[in-house]
Structure 1
Amino acid sequence: MRKSSIRAFGIALFLAGASFTFVDFITSDTDTEAANINVPRGTVLIKKSELEAINEEAAEAKEQLAKIQTDYSALKNNTVAVNTSAKKTVKSFTLVIKKGMGTSEVSSALEKAGIIKDAGDFELYVIKNDKASSLQIGTYDLNVKMTTAEIVKKITRSK
């Protein structure tokens, strides 16, 4: 009796497992088929309202891009116009060196006129190159485009 009971119990478990597998197989196929009717693999399904919203956002983005591009080109043209007008006007200055003026007075006058950026650097350059004693009394036309070496060469005498 024991052998037949165990056999019956085993057959019952087998049939229960087979029935669960069969039912699961049948229901999953219908769900999968309903979701994939005439849709190729890798395709995303969206609602029409979502598609319209996305298209509206894309149109707004295109309008913003066009506005930014026109603003950029206008700004670029203005910058070019400003640069060309700035290049045409070169700041010049007439430096008058009087008797008794030293390098500090000359460098501060050049800095105030905007010909050089730093009076201390100019003064150090003059002293390092041993030109402090070579400053010449006179009137000199200088401009912003001149380098420190050109300015020093113009306002000193050659040794």
Structure 2
Amino acid sequence: MNKSAIRAFGIALFLVGASLALAARFDLNIGLPTKASSHTENVEKLQKKLEQANKEIALLKGQVKQAPKETTQKTDATETKAKDNHESVDAPAADVATMTLQIYNGIAPYSVAKKLEDGGIIENSVEMELLLANPKYSRSLQIGSYEINSSMSLEEIAKLITGKKQ
């Protein structure tokens, strides 16, 4: 056999192999014996999981809608007690969330803001992320643990975790 015939045979083998790989990748049935595809079974399982997740979400949304009513009732009761005692209530202490924020080397402002939002300290993580991206605070996050509560302003939190003067 000459070189060109061997080269042509090698190219043909490569093309057949590539075709088979593509057919397997895109799950094409080109007449080769394969195991039965369990694609429909997987779809059914995923649909059941999706339905279950949607039910759980609906249940949690219902609980969240009920929670503000309970909080309002508790606040009304607190205000009534304060009026009875001739005291004024500005903000109930029960509404202040507290957390320990861990800042480690290389943490991004996005991650810090997300942790604060997840901990119930701030309402909107984007505002905090934008504040920390400000040239005044950027690249100034200090490694350590910080006790933070929801009564602190965004500016106070930023100054605390960046080590800037109050």
Length-normalised TM-score, structure 2: 0.44
Task: Give the helix-richer structure, 1 or 2.
Answer: 1
Larger Rg computed on CA atoms: 1
Higher relative contact order (CA 8 A, sep 6+): 1
